[in-house]
Chains A and B, each alone.
Chain A
Amino acid sequence: MTLALKRLSRHFPDIAALDDVSLDIAPGEFVALVGPSGSGKTTLLRILAGLDYPDEGSVTQNGQDFLAASARERNVGLVFQHYALFGHLTVRENVAFGLRVRPRRRRPSRDQIRVRVDELLKRVQLAELGNRYPSQLSGGQRQRVALARALAVEPDVLLLDEPFGALDAQVRTALRRWLRELHEELGLTTVFVTHDQEEALELADRIVVMNKGRIEQVGRPHEVYKDPETPFVCEFIGRTNRIALERRANTWGAGSWSLPAGASGGLFHSAVGYVRPEHLSLSVPEGQPAWEARLRHVYLAGSIAHLDIYVADIDQTLEVDVASEDLGRGALTPGAVLRVAPTRLVTFPLGDGPAGAPVLGERWIMRGPNSTS
């Protein structure tokens, strides 16, 4: 059941919601569409659901025209951020809705519907709440009802629009894991939209990073995290430090820190480097190039700690992550002076024009001498 999206464009009066988007979705795949609001991810989902249509492009399902089928005929499951449960129906009636509205000859009997609803309620762990109304449920329970309702019609594709957006943090994490397990159990092709990159990284087989109606990068979560292909992906996926680099004879550097340029970026004079918080070494030996930095704050976040360090040399505050247990070892208390250097940078050269826009397609990864990755 491969879904092939080819060259989709959708224009609204003031913006291009989708601009030449192509994507293949394999059977059973769990795909996350991730991007800021206005990036076109929801438009893409609505097109798959049959609630919107592209101005150009095609969607095929095993070679068949998917767009020719109306929303009713597509056999997809849809879950919205705010659940969109039918408030005047009980949980059971909500779940049964998609079966009850079928034309008579395709409609299961009352008993079959009852059995199916029981089964689904058990699956979403709401077996006891079938006779409640949606208003009597918590957010997490409502979203599970919405999911059961979508699964009741045995869809070929499950579409989720910010499914955890309205839930509080703990419920969200629990529901995420649960959804992932459910997916592994059912093997249903699932496309979900989120603006939360962490959620996308955690859940998806493959993530599609979108920005301004275009796809910036498609890949497995760890690939996208490790090798972001564009500056946008660097900044949007995970946390990062953005450092302006300049070319000096045979090195690239910023302030008192530099790395041998080697063969990389010979043509360019300036570049921007992205450094993940875990790719900053805090104890660079004397004699190797490094910045002198002052530790400003330590934010303990469970197993890891986020540090804010200020580098006077480049007048920038950088984020560093260390394992919490390393905190004591290096005398990492606010005010401490550290020798800091990036161990891994994703670098994009800048053009020579006044605007200094990144040069498309040019990118290299630089590693420091004490890099381990």
Chain B
Amino acid sequence: MTAGRPGRPASAMRRLGRASIIVASILFLCLFLVVPLASVFVEAFRQGAHAFVESIDQPEAMAAIRLTLLVAVITVPLNVVFGLAAAWAMTRFQFRGKALLGALIDLPLSVSPVVSGLLYVLMFGAQGWFGPWLATHGVKIIFAVPGLVLATIFITLPFVARELIPLMQAQGSEEEEVARVLGASGLQTFFRVTLPNIRWALLYGVLLCNARAMGEFGAVSVVSGHIRGLTTTMPLEVEMRYNEYNYVGAFAIASLLALLALLTLALKSALEWRYQAAENHR
């Protein structure tokens, strides 16, 4: 509150302005965020908890959940490795094409997910560049799990790297240099100096990466082929059930995804808080 501060008389106009901005933003959030989110849960339980449980406890629903977890389990560690390597390269080395690497890391964020999916169809699909060769060797990528994983990796590529780059830039390399001069090996320097310094940002990146990997729709929709029980992830299963007028079933799975989002949000806030504490700690 600045009302009582000298030199800034509290005018009624200013107070009114402030109140209306706050109210407007809260109303907007309620209308476009809270109400729809709540409606997901309301719809999921419209016919009671029993119907809810029943619509999830079905082979294709369980398969979708398993597939979604599988995709995330493969995607997230790969992106951690890539994110660390990219952030290291961007912040610790000088090389030609550094700006290009930076732009490429951001590319998946600027390309429409549907287009990203199509890129993979174009490369690995039956009529794609590598399609015939893959077909003769019996490798199926499009309309199969590998395609889903590839598309998800593409989409989630920037998340870890983008969390790490600004932090590692700000921290500089002096601590690592001191460690080296003190006799630490490359691995010792990484595990004892670099990793502890970036752990909260890394965790934060993993969280965002995971949320996106589980929730991605556009790109996986293109490469999935919608084969029930085999290539449908949770978001795809939601769409299929909805199209079949199975509203309770669709919203039941949607509510699981919404729960994941809420969980991510909570963890993210906790991490941000911890991260701030760690920053102040430095």
Contact = CB atoms under 8 A, between A and B. Distances in A.
Do A and B actually bind?
yes
Interface of A: 49-51, 71-72, 74, 76-78, 80, 82, 84-88, 97-98, 101-102, 133-135, 149-150, 153
A77 B174 CA distance: 13
21 contacts: A49-B181, A50-B181, A51-B180, A71-B180, A72-B180, A72-B181, A72-B184, A76-B181, A77-B181, A84-B174, A84-B175, A86-B192, A86-B193, A87-B282, A88-B197, A97-B192, A101-B179, A101-B182, A101-B192, A135-B280, A153-B182
A134 B282 CA distance: 7
Contacts of A133: 281
A135 B178 contact: no
Contacts of A82: 174
Nearest to A135: B281
A87 B281 contact: yes
Given A80-B178, A149-B178, 13 more contacts: A50-B181, A72-B181, A74-B181, A78-B177, A78-B181, A80-B174, A88-B197, A97-B192, A98-B184, A101-B184, A101-B185, A101-B188, A153-B182
A85 B175 CA distance: 7
A268 to B, nearest CB: 47
Contact of A72 (B175, B185, B197, B281): B185
A84 B177 contact: yes
A108 to B, nearest CB: 13
A153 B183 contact: yes
B196 interface: yes
Given A87-B197, A87-B281, A135-B280, A51 B177 contact: yes
A98 B282 CA distance: 20
A71 B185 CA distance: 10
Contacts of A71: 177, 180-181
Nearest to B196: A88
Contact of B182 (A80, A88, A134, A149): A149
**Which of A74, A77, A87, A134: most chain B Cβ within 10 A?**
A87
Interface of B: 174-175, 177-185, 188, 192-193, 196-197, 278, 280-282
Nearest to B181: A78
Most B-side CB within 10 Å, residue of A76, A97, A102, A149? A97
Contacts of A86: 175, 179, 192-193, 196
A300 B281 CA distance: 42
Contacts of B180: 50-51, 71-72
A12 to B, nearest CB: 10
A84 B178 CA distance: 7
A337 to B, nearest CB: 48
Nearest to B180: A71
Contacts of A88: 196-197
B172 to A, nearest CB: 8
Nearest to B94: A13
A51 B175 CA distance: 12
Contacts of B192: 86, 97, 101
B281 A101 contact: no
A72 B189 CA distance: 11
Q: Which one of A71, A76, A85 has the greatest number of beta carbons of chain B within 10 Å?
A: A71
Contacts of B184: 72, 97-98, 101
Contacts of B178: 78, 80, 84, 149
Nearest to A80: B174
A101 B176 CA distance: 13
Contacts of B183: 72, 98, 101-102, 153
A127 to B, nearest CB: 22
Nearest to A149: B182
Most buried by B among A49, A72, A78, A82: A72
Contacts of A134: 282
Contacts of A51: 177, 180-181
A76 B181 CA distance: 7
B41 to A, nearest CB: 40
A74 B180 CA distance: 10
Nearest to A84: B174
A149 B181 CA distance: 11
Contacts of B177: 49, 51, 71, 78, 84
A102 B185 CA distance: 9
Contacts of B185: 72, 101
Nearest to B175: A84
A88 B177 CA distance: 16
A97 B179 contact: yes
Q: What 3 pairs across the A-B complex have the smallest Cβ distances? A: A98-B182, A84-B174, A101-B184
A46 to B, nearest CB: 8
Contacts of A87: 197, 278, 281-282
Nearest to B193: A86
B277 to A, nearest CB: 10
A323 B184 CA distance: 53
Give the residue among B178, B185, B278 with the most A Cβ atoms within 10 A: B178
Contacts of B175: 84-86
Contacts of B281: 87, 133, 135
Contacts of B282: 87, 134-135
A145 to B, nearest CB: 12
A82 B178 CA distance: 12
A3 to B, nearest CB: 16
A290 to B, nearest CB: 54
